[in-house]
Structure 1
Amino acid sequence: MPDAHRAPRRAHRWLARPTGFALAAVALADGLFFNTHAIGLALPLFLGACGVLVVAANPIRASARLRLFCALAFFLALAALVEDVSWLSVLVAGVTALYLVRLLANGAGEGWPAGLARAMGLPFVGPFRLANDLTRVRRLSARGPKGFKGAASLAAWIAPVLLTLVFLGLFDTANPLIHAWLSTLDLQRLPNLISLPRLGFWLAALCLVWPLVRLRRGRRRAAPLPPQRQEDLPEMQALLGPAAVLRSLVLFNALFAVQTGLDAAYLWGGRALPDGMSHAAYAHRGAYPLIVTALLAAAFVLAAMRPGGPAAASRWIRPLVLVFVAQNVALVTSSILRTALYVETYGLTQLRLAAFIWMGLVGLGLMLIVVQILHGRSNAWLLTANAIAVAATLYLCCFANFPYIVARYNLTHWQTRIGMGSDFDVAYLVSLGPDALPAYVGIKMDGKPYVLTQRQVALLQCEQRSAARMIEQADWRSWTFRNWRLKQVLAAHPLDVAPAGIAPAAAN
């Protein structure tokens, strides 16, 4: 009989520890996020608590050096959220945190692509793991004597709870302080605290944190056998064999040389374009297609330079590939210059700024291909190098105030072009949100008599009032370092646009 009771008791004890951790995390999530108008400091605090939860609730198999690396990377990820909570910072911090969780649980034995793919699935497996664990407990409990389904454990709480309530009633009569504390409790608010939306929030939070308290170690797979070298099929020999690749490189280099020559002549050499076409239109039309062209060219280079591929069969392919990559670098540079010329004419937008960053990453990827070819690196090295470059770029972008950069550039550009006058697109800059408001401080402090219409002035003042109202309504849970800086700037330089040297003109 003792053995019959041991299985269900062990099952309940096995479930009690992770359940306690999970419920504590759900209670913290309720206090930080439920009925919150904006999310700020609450998110990095919650993720930090989840990091402590993972370490406390699971066996850690990572080495001491790897633990130190995970702690540093986790701190840097949370710093991006403290700066500002945006879709980019949430993406970067969330993916980093999930991957570090897998790294702590499994150690460094798992490759980063597979570990990252499995880590991305953690937020979605919570309901299934929770249901599986509950089913396991029920199955273990069924091994006990008939009638034992946890009833004994629940019955053991009846006497303590009843006696505690009796003692509490006696203390309420005997102690005026306890009576005063109990009088402040409003039992009529209890139904409002436990509402259907709140129960749904608790269930969602529980499913989200459950995989963190019940981490499962990845299954070790047997190392794959080294593939035997096989000759390419006849169809592949004809399609991407040495002869086909060599001829492709000759044609591609000639075609790309024509494109580069036309850009040099018309965009940078000053030659006249056909009637009805401006240099800005010519630049804008080709900026993005050229980036797609560079990406397709990079894929072709990887196929041509694959281990045991066509490059090993011809001494001309390798130098022609290097020339082809160099032309693609020139193509990306031309795309950057094209976009810069278009921005010079029509102004900067967040999409165009993102295009600059994307083009820079494509150019860096092409340079890494050159390094791979010259030094004989593997494709795994190239993948890791590009992943590091993309991750570092996205992380740095979390700290960049893009609305401010766009607004500041356009305002400075407008100052140097007096002819723009009242045609300046204030509505677009206002649409960038309150983060762009500090860019107007330079306009206010400038004594040049630029003219804004009454409508433009009203748009600026309305955006300032909206930003001030947002800051006043925010509590500590929605605090971010960027909003704090915005508050300081608006307090020191209120945007009373009209008296600050910018005379409002009559409405158009």
Structure 2
Amino acid sequence: MPVRPAAPPRVRAVCCTCAHADAARADAVRADRPGGGPVSETASTPEPSDGEDSPADSARDSVRDSVRDSAGEPLRRPRAESGPRPHPDWAYPGGGYKHEPLLADLRADPPAPVRTGTLGAVLATGLLSMLLLGDGLAINLLIVAVPAALAAYFSAEQAGRRPRPWTLTWAAGGLALLAVPALRDAGWPSFLAIVSAIALGSLALHGCRTWPGVLLGPIGLFEAVLSGLGWGWRGARSRASGSRSGPVLRAVAVTAVLLLVFGALFAGADAAFAGLLGDLMPDASVADGPWRLLLFAVGVVGALAAARTAAAPVRWDRLVVGPGRERGRVEWALPLIVLNLLFAAFNAVQLAVLFGGYDAVLEKTDLSYSAYARQGFWQLLLATLLTLVVIVLALRWAPRAGARDRGLVRAVLGTLCALTLVVVASAVRRMDMYVEAYGLTRLRVSVVAVELWLGVVIVLIMAAGVWGTRWLPRAVAASAAAGVLAFGLLSPDGLIAERNVQRYEDTGKFDLEYARGLSADAAPAVDGLPEPLRSCALEGIAKGLGSERGPWYATSLGEARAREIIEDRPPTAPSAGCARTGEETSYR
């Protein structure tokens, strides 16, 4: 039987109006998709079979016949223009990829809710800051730091963090550094101690053990200032709406009222008790109200930042610094071996000068004793710093393929460190020579302390070459903090005065103008000078102290001792006589 030819496929007619509607609907769907891109042409509902017409087909056919152009020809659907290729999701603000902040990978889980003890410690920190920090820095700074540390402890305990040995070490070191302002009147060692205490507090809160953590830890503490405010506010609101907050607040209010009422009665009944309360309580007036409020805000914000960091610290240890490209043995070792030979030659000359005497060297160089010492120290200090940079870069590019490479690295860098220690000793000896000629000053004692600490760092690097480097970042940080603490406890201004008084006893030379600018820590040493030098030196120190005593919590031990010395034996020399005495005893 003959095969019936298949019917041609039916072509569905689409009108212009429907085409525009379909295009608009496709654009809307494309805009709602996360990544954009073309819309599939597949119909969302099944089409009717070819054997029958749907009502929609009939309607489109009637519209097609009625829509024609001016020439009588039916309007054709324009060909869709090919749009741009779809972009990845991150190219669209509403796309599937969400931009994370820089610290997202470093931050721990969200902090636990604030507990009542944390809020109480934060409030105590703010109140103590408002009452005690407005008259100067001394033991009051340590008093304010105690509730702030308690706030951090309560917050860490709420988050499930337990203190570790290094955490306790950093916390104890930070509190010990805050004792320096309580002991010394000089501002510059106190400033170093406060900055170091903040750094140690950051290490205690973050628990870092790598170089990025040790160096970047304080950034995380300051970053928590803004987030800590919101965290504390949410905790305060939740606690205020709780059932247990009412009794606590009422108890605090009743306690305050009882203390005020009975304290005022007892103060009016006994003058001695009134004097005791006057000494214990800070002086506050309406005029310094804004300043006190600012101190309260600083205390609260600082305590909240510490507590927020303890609850969810930034994990700086997750920052991984990859090793540098490994170099060949010859490329790596040759420059360092030549540098070692140069160091060895310099150290040999230094030993020859040490045992042969400086007189021959001074005759050959045509330099004075002090000029020779001054010229050498700064170059040797810079050489020590550059050596540390060389060691860091050498370790980054060192060969590390096997045991032989590791042995080569230890031998070359160990030799360089040992030779650098001789350079450190030579630099300290140069400065000692200069001090013998011109006396001790703040700059000279500071740079000697830095040089000695660099020597300690080099010794730690040598030890790390034997026992590994895992402990090195924390050891270097601990050595720096210990150096700052020792520097403050030794009283640099007092040490300067003692050394210069001793030099006056040996040579009869004394820099009176410089001694008058020292802090109250120098008063005990200056008190041993003969008149009129004693009165002239103490007169400058007395002017720096002023006539009014500060409160007990804002008075350092050095200031208290200086006031006792001045009150027992007040300065008597006139100013004109001091100028003449200074010219007679000057080094020039």
Matches of 1:194 and 1:460 in 2, distance apart?
Answer: 35
Residue 357 of structure 1 and its aligned partner are, at CA, apart by 1.6
Alignment partner, residue 213 of structure 2: 114
What does 1:358-373 align with in structure 2 at a 5 Å threshold? 358-373=450-465
Alignment partner of 2:499 out of 409, 430, 435: 409
Write the letter of the residue equivalent to 1:270: D
Aligned length: 426
CA-CA distance at 1:493 after TM superposition: 5.3
Query: Post-superposition shift, 1:316?
Result: 6.5
CA contact (8 A) 1:297 1:328 kept: yes
One-letter code aligned to 2:513 = A
SS in structure 1 of the partner of residue 528 of structure 2: helix
Helix, strand or coil at the partner of 2:375:
helix
Listed as ranges, the matches of 1:409-448 within 5 Å are 409-418=499-508, 420=509, 424-444=510-530
Partner of 2:347: 260
| 1:19 to partner: Cα distance | 5.5
Please tell me the residue identity of whatever aligns with 1:438. P
- The alpha-carbon deviation at position 428 of structure 1 amounts to 0.5
1:63-142 equivalent positions in 2, closer than 5 A: 63=162, 66=165, 72-73=172-173, 76-84=176-184, 86-102=190-206, 114=213, 117-123=216-222, 125-131=224-230
Letter in 2 for 1:59: E
| Distance of aligned partners of 1:69 and 1:88 in 2 relative to their CA distance in 1, 3 Å threshold | closer
Identify which of 313, 323, 326 aligns with 1:218. 313
Q: Structure 2 vs 1, CA of residues 64 and 329 (structure 1 numbering), >3 Å: closer, same or farther?
A: closer
1:189-242 Cα shifts (integer Å, max 9, x gaps) = x99369554444443333222224444323679989998x9973xxxx4xxx32
Alpha-carbon deviations, 1:293-323, whole Å to 9, x = none?
1232233345445664499449766545444
Identity %: 20
User: Which residue does the alignment assign to 2:149?
Assistant: 51
Contact 1:464–1:495 (8 Å) recurs in 2: no
Q: Secondary structure at the match of 1:432?
A: coil
Query: Match of 1:380, SS?
Result: coil
2:127 counterpart of 1:27: yes
Q: Kindly state the Cα deviation for residue 406 of structure 1 after the two structures are TM-superposed.
A: 0.6
Moved more, 211-220 or 431-440: 211-220
- Whole-angstrom CA distance in 2 between matches of 1:275 and 1:222: 52
Cα RMSD for the two superposed structures: 4.7
Matching of residue 207 in structure 1 with residue 301 in structure 2:
yes
- After superposition, residues 315-326 of structure 1 pair within 5 angstroms as 318-326=410-418
Q: Quickly say closer, same or farther: Cα 1:206–1:63, change in 2 above 3 A.
A: closer
> CA separation of 1:94/1:225 partners in 2, compared to 1, >3 Å: closer, same or farther?
closer
Where does structure 2 lack aligned partners over 5 or more consecutive residues? Answer: 1-112, 258-264, 269-283
User: Within 1, Cα distance between the matches of 2:491 and 2:498?
Assistant: 11
SS, match of residue 473 in structure 1: coil
What's the counterpart of residue 385 of structure 2? 295
From the superposition, tell whether residues 294 and 192 of structure 1 become closer, same or farther in structure 2 (CA, over 3 Å).
Answer: closer
Cα distance change, pair 305–119 in 1 and its aligned pair in 2 (3 A): closer
Residue 104 of structure 2 corresponds to: none
**SS where residue 30 of structure 1 aligns?**
helix
CA shift in 2, pair 1:274/1:365, >3 Å: same
* TM-score, structure 1 as length reference: 0.68
CA distance in structure 2 between the aligned counterparts of 1:96 and 1:298, rounded to whole angstroms: 23
TM-score w.r.t. the length of structure 2 is 0.60
Moved more, 349-358 or 109-118: 109-118
Give yes or no for contact 1:21–1:213 (8 Å, CA) kept in 2. Answer: no
Shift of 1:356: 1.6
Displacement of 1:328: 1.7
Q: Which string of whole-angstrom CA distances, capped at 9 and with x for unpartnered residues, describes residues 401-449 of structure 1?
A: 111111111121122113x4xxx320111111222121122223xxxxx
Q: Indicate conservation of the 8 Å contact 1:430/1:436, yes or no.
A: no
Tell whether 2:352 aligns with 1:352: no
How far apart in 2 are the matches of 1:507 and 1:368?
47
Give me the whole-angstrom Cα distance separating, in 2, the residues matched to 1:466 and 1:91: 28
Q: Is the 8 A contact 1:80 1:398 kept in 2?
A: yes
2:367 alignment partner, SS class:
coil
Q: Post-superposition shift, 1:490?
A: 4.0
Corresponding residue of 2:540: 463
Contact 1:124 1:208 in 2 (8 A): no
Instruction: Look at both structures and tell me which one has the larger radius of gyration over its CA atoms.
Output: 2
Q: Deviations over 1:101-122 (max 9, x none)?
A: 445xxxxx87686277335542
Return closer, same or farther for 1:329/1:91 CA change in 2, 3 Å cut-off: same
Question: Is the contact between residue 461 and residue 497 of structure 1 (CA under 8 Å) also seen in structure 2?
Answer: no
AA partner of residue 286 (structure 2): N
Partner Cα separation in structure 1 for residue 500 and residue 513 of structure 2: 12
Structure 1, residues 38-80: CA drift from partner, whole Å, max 9, x if none? 2222111111122233334553544476486577546534443
CA distance in 1, matches of 2:379, 2:554: 41
Secondary structure at the residue paired with 1:416? helix
Match of 2:312, SS state, is coil
Closer/same/farther in 2, CA of residues 485 and 97 from structure 1, 3 Å limit: farther
- State the partner residue of 1:270: 359
Shift in Å at residue 341 of structure 1?
Answer: 1.0
SS at match of 2:359: coil
Q: Which amino acid aligns with 2:340?
A: N
Q: Counterpart of 2:430 in structure 1: which amino acid? A: R
CA–CA distance in structure 1, aligned partners of residues 317 and 447 of structure 2: 43
Contact 2:343 2:419 in 1 (8 A): yes
| Structure 1 spans left out of the alignment, 5+ residues | 1-12, 104-108, 141-149, 169-176, 181-189, 445-450
The one-letter amino acid paired with 1:207 is: V
Give the match's secondary structure for 1:218: coil
Measure, in 2, the Cα distance between the counterparts of 1:302 and 1:282.
Answer: 31
SS in 2 for 1:277: coil
User: Alpha carbons of 1:56 and 1:16: their partners in 2 closer, same or farther (altered >3 Å)?
Assistant: closer
**Can you list the C-alpha shifts for 1:234-269, whole angstroms capped at 9, x where unaligned?**
xxx4xxx32133322342233223433444455745
The match for 1:474 among 550, 568, 571 is: 550
Specify whether residues 112 and 216 from structure 1 end up closer, same or farther in structure 2 by C-alpha distance, changes over 3 A only. Answer: farther
- Name the counterpart of 1:183: none
**1:247 matched residue in structure 2:** 334
The partner residue of 1:333 within 416, 425, 431 is 425
CA distance in 1, matches of 2:582, 2:315: 74
Give me the whole-angstrom Cα distance separating, in 2, the residues matched to 1:290 and 1:230.
Answer: 29
1:349 Cα offset (Å): 0.8
Cα distance, 1:461–1:322 mapped onto 2, change above 3 Å: closer
Which residue is equivalent to 1:9? none
1:281 paired with 2:404, answer no
Range that drifts further, 322-331 or 396-405: 322-331
Per the TM alignment, residue 97 of structure 1 is displaced from its structure 2 partner at its CA by 3.4
| Structure 1 residues 427 and 273: alpha-carbon distance in aligned structure 2, compared to 1, 3 A threshold | same
Question: Who is 1:447 aligned against?
Answer: none
CA distance in structure 1 between the aligned counterparts of 2:505 and 2:337, rounded to whole angstroms? 49
